[in-house]
Amino acid sequence: MFQHITPYAGDPIFALVDAFNADPRPQKVNLSIGIYFDEAGKLPVLDSVRHAEAQIVAADGPKPYLAMEGDAETRKQVQMLLLGADHPAIAAGRVATIQSVGSSGGLKVGADFMKTWLPEAQVWVSDPTWDNHRSMFEGSGFQVNTYPYYDASTGGVRFDAMLDTLRTLPARSIVLLHACCHNPTGVDLTRAQWDALIPVLRERELLPYLDLAYQGFGDGIDEDAYAVRALADSGITFFIANSFSKSMSVYGERCGALSAVCADAAEAALVLGQLRYTVRRIYSSPPMHSARIVSRVLGDAELRAQWEGELAAMRERIAAMRRALHDRLIALLPGRDFGYFLSQRGMFSYTGLSAAQVDRLREEHAVYLIRSGRICVAGLNTSNVERTAQAMAAVIGS
């Protein structure tokens, strides 16, 4: 029956994690997947999450199906986290939110929804972007194109070229944007650039689709939501998929949401209805445990404060590792510019290393990063940063 199908080559990020796990070398360093590891190299369970789970278990409630759109309290908390508790868009009822299976699940539900209701649209993603963006939208039947983004010569954004491309797009094109902590480059739009971009999105009647997987890992929870709030203020209809995988360190719980900020409450009600139907056709309804964790951590004042402190500590540890790697590299390779480690934001840095250099790092030094040259800075700690810097210097310098 299936002898004719093509073999799956494997996912470039998950395949690398498998290769890392199989590597017997004791000094190996995993800078591949976007996961936060703590100073001891362990995946942390946050105290806020641990306490929330203890309370959930103690309450010993039944486990009914959730609604197709997910848990009401979680959805409310998500809106407030994204937009700020007092944003008028929430009060006006013009935000439609569903709980989703990670932000990937949200992105996919949104993509299927858009293919149904904007069947002629094409999707535009940044060059480069997270590999799976293209796969997801192509999987929903879209043609996926790129707009200019990363400037390898300056380490910044090709902002004028990006705007020039967006100005040529037909109305109702879908423009995927990273709200903060751009994956894979770590290079974000500045506030001034968002302010210049939004009028172009409005004039061209484009549909912004924000991916916010790293809220709190850039400059702070509210700071990282600048783009979301600026778009909501502008009145443009847009979508946003957000995740708690990284910010609450609950990767396997699959906690996320998809929100549509609409022109008015009537449009939001229509969108919510069709998102519910989209969910029903794919997986019927989302998981309950993840919703309970998120709503409890966000809604309980004590747990919320604890979580915000834990998220800040993760953000600050990543920033310290950026500085440590930068300082060691400029000492090892004087005269070279490694300033990008300090200016980039979030878990990732785009090193400019070639695929051949990445292969040497893995094969000769057991340092794993993906072949685009992206490193996950959150995989560094004080025990492995020196080794990593030495390995990088060896492949860059030779």
Per CB under 6 A, 13 contacts ligand LMR: yes
- Active-site residue, from 124, 130, 194, 307: 130
Q: Which is nearer to ligand LMR, 232 or 370 (CB)?
A: 370
Per CB under 6 A, 218 contacts ligand LMR: no
**Residue corresponding to tokens 């949200």:** 106
Tokens read off for 144: 């996926």
Q: Which of 36, 37, 113, 130 binds ligand LMR (CB under 6 A)?
A: 130
Q: Are 293 and 106 in contact (CB under 8 A)?
A: no
For the question of residue 246 being annotated catalytic, the response is yes
Per CB under 6 A, 290 contacts ligand LMR: no
Nearest to 255 by CA among 267, 265, 242: 242
Per CB under 6 A, 34 contacts ligand LMR: yes
Least distance from C-beta 30 to ligand LMR, angstroms? 11
- Active-site residue, from 71, 108, 188, 246: 246
Q: Are 244 and 217 in contact (CB under 8 A)?
A: no
For the question of residue 233 being annotated catalytic, the response is no
Per CB under 6 A, 33 contacts ligand LMR: yes
Q: How far is CA 287 from the centre of its chain?
A: 20
Q: Which is nearer to ligand LMR, 38 or 73 (CB)?
A: 38
Least distance from C-beta 286 to ligand LMR, angstroms? 18
Least distance from C-beta 28 to ligand LMR, angstroms? 17
Q: Are 150 and 185 in contact (CB under 8 A)?
A: yes
d(CA 186, CA 156): 10
Residue number of the CB closest to ligand LMR reads 34
Least distance from C-beta 33 to ligand LMR, angstroms? 4
Q: Which is nearer to ligand LMR, 34 or 208 (CB)?
A: 34
Angle of helix 301-332 relative to helix 288-299, nearest 10 degrees?
A: 90
Strand partners, 241: 211, 258
Least distance from C-beta 227 to ligand LMR, angstroms? 18
Q: How far is CA 135 from the centre of its chain?
A: 15
- How many residues of this chain interact with ligand LMR, rule: CB under 6 A? 6
Count the Cβ atoms, other than its own, within 10 Å of residue 260: 24
Q: Kindly report the three-state secondary structure assignment for every residue of 367-384.
A: EECCCCCEEEHHHCCCCC
Nearest to 369 by CA among 114, 7, 129, 13: 13
For the question of residue 130 being annotated catalytic, the response is yes
Q: Which is nearer to ligand LMR, 254 or 365 (CB)?
A: 254
Q: Which is nearer to ligand LMR, 16 or 121 (CB)?
A: 16
Per CB under 6 A, 216 contacts ligand LMR: no
Q: Which is nearer to ligand LMR, 4 or 42 (CB)?
A: 42
Q: Are 95 and 89 in contact (CB under 8 A)?
A: yes
d(CA 258, CA 241): 4
d(CA 269, CA 260): 10
| Interface pattern 167-206 for ligand LMR (x via CB under 6 A) | ----------------x-----------------------
List residues near ligand LMR by CB under 6 A.
Answer: 13, 33-34, 130, 132, 183
| Enzyme catalytic residues | 130, 211, 246
